[in-house]
Structures are given as C-alpha cells and as structure tokens.
C-alpha cells in the first residue's frame, strides 16, 4: 500500500524542502520506493537539493498538460536506487496546475511508489490548497520554535481541516538545546502542545546542514545530529518496528561535568538609541 504525505508549513524558509529531500533519501535507504514531488511551482529546489539541476527535461506541469508521459519527467539521483523526483516547473505559476490534474498524477504515482512526499509551497494560498485532495493520506507541518511560525502553522492546520485532510503531525526544526536549557526557546513538545497536534519529530539547528550544502552533499551523507534526527523521523513515518523515541532536545539530563562547564549564553542587551 502506498502513502502520500503532504509536507507543508505556514511560513517559508523553515526547512520543508531540506527535510523532504532528506526523508526521501532515508526512506529509500530503508528499501522503500520513494517519489518526491516538488510542488513548489516557480521556486523549485528539490532538483538542486538532490543534485539533479542539469538533468531536468520535463516537469510536473508538462505531465499535467500532457506534453510528456509521467515516466519521462521522473529523474533519479546518482547512487540512489529507489529515490525519484518529479520536478517542479521553474518559470510557471502555481495556478497553471489544476487540482484535478494533480490528483490524477498523484494517483498514478501511488501505483508505482511505496511513498510519495509532496514538498509544498509555504502559506495557505490557492497553490497549497490545490494540492489537497482525497489521494493524500498523511500531512506534516514543519514548524520552528517561535511564535510567528506557530501562529502561521495554526492557520495552515485550519485550512487542512477545512479541506477534509487528516489532522497534521508536526516536525519541529532548528531547535537549539542550549537556548531550551536556558529557558529561552520552546521545546518541541511545547510547540506540539500549543498546536494541539502529534509531535512526529524534532531536528536541532545543525551547521552541518549548511556545510554539507556548500559541498553539494545531502545532510544524509554526512555524520551529523540532523541526519540522526531525520533518520529517526523516517522510521516513525514508516511505522518501522524500531525503537525511535524522540530525544527531547534541550531537556536531556546532562552529566554533572557538562552541567558545570556549560558555556554561558551571551546576554542580549538593548542598545540606547
Ligand atoms: N536543522 C537545520 N539546521 C541548519 N540549517 C537548516 C536546518 N533546516 C533547514 N536549514 C536551512 O534553512 C534554509 C531554508 O531551508 P529550506 O529547506 O529551503 O526551507 P523551505 O523549503 O521551508 O523554504 C536552508 O538554507 C537550509 O539549509
Ligand atoms: Mg522549499
């Protein structure tokens, strides 16, 4: 049975595309046939994240408009045997994709793949609403631990509910254990409780994500905490019978020597204007 996941957020720049690409890689390495659909039309990112910039010939809109077959538009990153991308169009507008065509393509993808991950545009506009249909099985909201992102996520939750989609689960991204320990940042559990939705996963702020990108690598190909966090989330999404409890970044009990030698956080002082 195939599962189609919508990966959305209220706010842009919270890590949707990065997380989608990494979860796709993690699940394909677990033996699943995975298709990532880049549905952020006009702002495509997945081709770059998966190292496929020079390999795109056709895209989602070409398939929707009938100018190519679905398999002509699908591309596979080198070295990944079960991961496929259906790229977004770079110079088109989201309104050019009809909800009916998208649903038809999604159903076709679900026949060929075990998992379909849909990287969505941010916000609650028509471009997102047009991707929501009864072929979508699960929904995820990506949220950073701040009030503005939580407020936007709440609104996206409302839109999903109105569209009759399953209640979303949340992945909290860019957590800083140091700030949480100092009581200056929400924990992942607090964000989930505020949104009143299930906490699917948590990912720390990790410079390795940026440094991997500089070297045109996926965070899944470097040894870093973000990779461990994303692998854990992929297992939870696949319902694998593995022990994948969340670490609770910033709430872990530290050994005594780490507690004593915690670097003090730099104070934020208001300047006189
Ligand atoms: N956990 C993280 N740690 C560090 N940087 C991150 C993390 N998650 C995302 N980023 C960075 O944040 C930026 C925005 O991510 P992106 O996936 O493009 O967001 P979105 O698709 O929601 O707009 C990228 O530069 C990405 O590398
Ligand atoms: Mg994106």
Helices (H), 75-215: 99-112, 126-129, 147-162, 177-181, 188-195, 207-214
**Full domain range(s) for residue 14:** 3-260
Residue 47 neighbours by CB under 8 Å, 6+ apart: 38, 53, 55, 56, 75, 85, 87
Length of the chain: 273
Q: Is 208 in the pocket of ligand 1 (CB under 6 A)?
A: no
**Distance of CA 173 from the midpoint of ligand 2 (Å):** 14
- The answer to whether position 199 is within a domain reads yes
Nearest ligand 1 atom, CA 173:
1
The total number of structural domains in the chain stands at 1
Which candidate, 271, 270, 265, 247, places its Cα nearest to that of 184?
265
| In contact, 82 and 238? CB cutoff 8 Å | no
Please tell me the number of Cα atoms within 13 Å of 254 on its side-chain side: 13
Judge whether 7 lies within some domain: yes
Whether 146 is in a domain gets the answer yes
For residue 71, tell me if it sits in a domain.
Answer: yes
- Distance of alpha carbon 22 from alpha carbon 118, whole angstroms: 13
Distance between CA 97 and CA 44 in Å, rounded? 14
In a domain, residue 179? The reply is yes
Round to the nearest angstrom and report the end-to-end CA distance of the chain.
Answer: 62
Q: What is the CATH number of the domain that holds 14?
A: 3.40.50.300
Which of 253, 259, 233, 254 has its CA nearest to residue 244?
233
How much distance in Å is there from the Cα of 14 to the middle of ligand 1?
A: 6
Task: Per residue of the chain (273 residues), give pLDDT as tens.
Answer: 899 999 999 999 999 999 999 999 999 999 999 999 999 988 889 999 999 999 999 999 999 999 999 999 999 998 888 999 999 988 878 788 999 999 999 999 999 999 999 999 998 888 889 999 999 999 999 999 999 999 999 999 999 999 999 999 999 999 999 999 999 999 999 999 999 999 999 999 999 999 999 999 999 999 999 999 999 999 999 987 677 889 999 998 888 787 777 777 778 888 988
Q: Domain for residue 36, yes or no?
A: yes
Written as six digits, the tokens of 56 are 């795109």
Within a domain: residue 40? Answer: yes
7 - beta bridge partners?
119, 140
171 touches ligand 1 (CB under 6 Å): no
Could you tell me if residue 273 is inside a domain? no
């Amino acid at each position: 049975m195939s599962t189609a996941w919508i990966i959305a957020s209220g706010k842009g720049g919270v890590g949707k595309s990065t997380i989608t690409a990494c979860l796709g890689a993690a699940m394909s390495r677990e033996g699943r046939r995975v298709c990532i659909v880049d549905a952020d039309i006009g702002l495509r990112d997945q081709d770059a994240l998966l190292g496929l910039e020079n390999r795109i010939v056709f895209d989602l809109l070409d398939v929707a408009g009938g100018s190519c077959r679905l398999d002509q538009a699908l591309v596979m990153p080198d070295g990944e045997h079960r991961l496929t991308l259906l790229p977004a169009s770079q110079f088109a507008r989201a309104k050019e994709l009809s909800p009916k065509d998208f649903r038809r393509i999604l159903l076709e993808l679900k026949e060929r793949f075990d998992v379909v991950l849909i990287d969505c545009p941010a916000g609650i506009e028509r471009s997102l609403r047009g991707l929501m249909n009864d072929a979508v099985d699960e929904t995820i909201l990506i949220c950073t631990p701040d009030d503005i992102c939580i407020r936007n996520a709440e609104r996206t939750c409302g839109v999903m509910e109105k569209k009759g989609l399953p209640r979303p689960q949340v992945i909290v991204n860019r957590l800083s254990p140091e700030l949480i320990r100092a009581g200056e940042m929400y924990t992942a559990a607090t964000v989930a409780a505020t949104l009143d939705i299930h906490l699917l996963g948590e990912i720390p702020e990790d410079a390795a994500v940026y440094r991997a990108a500089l070297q045109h690598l996926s965070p899944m190909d470097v040894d870093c905490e973000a990779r461990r966090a994303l692998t854990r989330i992929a297992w939870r999404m696949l319902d694998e019978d593995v022990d994948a409890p969340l670490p609770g970044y910033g709430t872990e009990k530290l050994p005594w020597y780490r507690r004593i030698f915690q670097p003090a956080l730099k104070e934020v002082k208001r300047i006189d204007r």
